[in-house]
Amino acid sequence: MGLFWRRKSGDEFVRLGLNEPAKPTEAPAVDTQQQRAEQVPESPSLVPPASGGAPTPIPVEKVQHQVEKPQARADSETSNPVREKPVASRSPFATSVLGLNLSMEELKAQEEALEQEFSARFRRAVAATRESLSERLDTVFAGRKQIDEELLDQLEEVLIAADIGVNTTLAVLETVRHGIARKQINDLDALKTALKSELLGILKASEREGIASETTVAESVSPYVMMIVGVNGVGKTTTIGKLAQRIKAEGNDVLICAADTFRAAASDQLAIWADRTGVPLIQQKPGTDPAAVLFDSLKAAKARGSDVLIVDTAGRLHNKSNLMAELEKMKRVAAREVDGAPHETLLVVDAVTGQNGLEQARQFLKVAGVTGIVLTKLDGTAKGGIAVAIAKELSLPIRYAGIGEKVDDLVVFDPEQYVNSLFGN
Ligand code: GDP
């Protein structure tokens, strides 16, 4: 599996780069009042949020001392309330990022150990789904020697109960029936193998459709902009914290943009995650135009030489036309500032909400130009089959899975690992 976030080539993982020229400092565009008015009409004055729960913003002068990279800021950016509070990383990746005291072999061993650990945690996260699925399959298969229509009907019920979804289940069973008719599936073992390979096929096919990956964007394009969308409560903020932590832990400079200005609480929560992970955050007063916050974040990211900008967005679906206009405006602003941005738009879906979550996801697809899914709370359900329904019905790859509430509880979703974990090998 290798690196969690792969935009940097493998050998940069341990390269010091002492003989390389410093990253060029990008002079921010001249920001005349007229230009700014055209770009973001409602751009407000930049002041720290009036929230009680958030940590006190650190004055910019202090932040500039803490930031190692050379910077040049336009006047508008120097007033950004950038929060930066370096904290010791609690991530197990911290040692594998620099690893300057380790040999290549030791680094590889460390990486493998980490992968094994994540693999074990992923298995544990889908344990409830696995147990429920295998229990039901055992009941269906018990005492049977051959495959008949009754067995296939019961299998249909089992797959639907695991939240694989009616359409997906019917499609899977149709293929299985063909296999039986062609005598390719003759016994229960072959049936189980065919089932696994069908589910894997669906997940893999979704990876070929619409995938946006950091590897497809040239390293010269910076920052890599990730927009995170989804309804409130699905785990968007937590996912942003987890992503920031892991991408940072692999040696990238990360910045978070708090563009859900609709809910003050969202911004406060994000500030807590930013502090926890030691990643700076750009935020403004509640009610500020999200596109304006994004504009300032993009400017700040460029001035800092940030590798990645993670953008939180509002999650209120009840006001869809506003949300659509808001997201479209944000996309326009991003594309104007950085080539091809946003490079990735991740829709966060809560596995626990099952088919309802799928319906919400469909609504978002219409407005947000989603390129991939983050499936959260996979650890909190026995109906983890929803991953297959999502891949099939939304035709979108699942990029990451949330497997707990802690900062390290996020994994790159691996279809093979998922299917093997569900079927117990
Ligand atoms: P938001 O409203 O979409 O930003 O949602 P939050 O990030 O605030 O998360 C809502 C709740 O879901 C919080 O209690 C999180 O701890 C919890 N949560 C988020 N991701 C996961 C996950 O992968 N597993 C579990 N068990 N809980 C999660």
Q: What confidence score (pLDDT) does residue 101 get?
A: 76
Whole-number percent of the chain with pLDDT over 90: 55
* pLDDT above 70 (res 65): no
Ligand 1 contacts (CB < 6 A) are 232-238, 269, 376-377, 379-380, 402-405, 409
Task: State the Cα–Cα distance between residues 376 and 348, nearest whole angstrom.
Answer: 7
Cβ atoms of 289 and 333 closer than 8 Å? no
Q: What confidence score (pLDDT) does residue 390 get?
A: 94
Bridge-based pairing state of the strands 281-282 and 82-83: antiparallel
By most ligand atoms within 8 Å of CB, the mutation choice from 260, 399, 405, 412 for ligand 1 is 405
Q: Which of 31-35, 127-131, 166-170, 245-249 has the lowest mean pLDDT?
A: 31-35
- Give 344's strand partners: 226
Confidence of residue 20 (pLDDT cuts 50, 70, 90): low
As a whole number of angstroms, the longest Cα–Cα distance in the chain is: 79
From ligand 1's centre to the CA of 238, what distance in Å?
A: 6
Task: State the Cα–Cα distance between residues 61 and 78, nearest whole angstrom.
Answer: 8
* Sequence-ordered strand ranges (E) for 97-196: none
Residue 402 alpha carbon, nearest atom of ligand 1: 23
Confidence of residue 128 (pLDDT cuts 50, 70, 90): very high
182-191, 259-268, 269-278 — which one is most confidently predicted on average?
A: 269-278
Give the mean model confidence (pLDDT) for residues 163-191. 92
Closest residue by Cα to residue 229 from 161, 290, 273? 290
Give the mean model confidence (pLDDT) for residues 254-283. 94
Q: What confidence score (pLDDT) does residue 303 get?
A: 97
- CB-based burial, 137-170: b 16+ in 10 Å, e otherwise: beebbeeeeebeeeeeebbbebbbebbbbeebbe
By most ligand atoms within 8 Å of CB, the mutation choice from 238, 239, 272, 378 for ligand 1 is 238
* pLDDT above 70 (res 358): yes
**Using CB atoms within 10 A of its CB, is residue 79 exposed (0-12), middle (13-18) or buried (19+)?**
middle
Whole-number percent of the chain with pLDDT over 70: 76
Q: What is the residue type of 71?
A: Q
Question: What does pTM read for this prediction?
Answer: 0.79
What's the mean pLDDT when you consider all of the chain? 81
Cβ atoms of 308 and 332 closer than 8 Å? no
* pLDDT above 60 (res 388): yes
Give the mean model confidence (pLDDT) for residues 399-404. 96
Higher pLDDT, 11 or 391: 391
> What's phi and psi for 311, nearest 5 deg?
-110, 120
In the block, tokens 């980490």 appear at 114
* pLDDT above 50 (res 304): yes
The DSSP H or E segment spanning 68 is none
* pLDDT above 50 (res 337): yes
Q: What confidence score (pLDDT) does residue 210 get?
A: 67
Confidence of residue 82 (pLDDT cuts 50, 70, 90): low
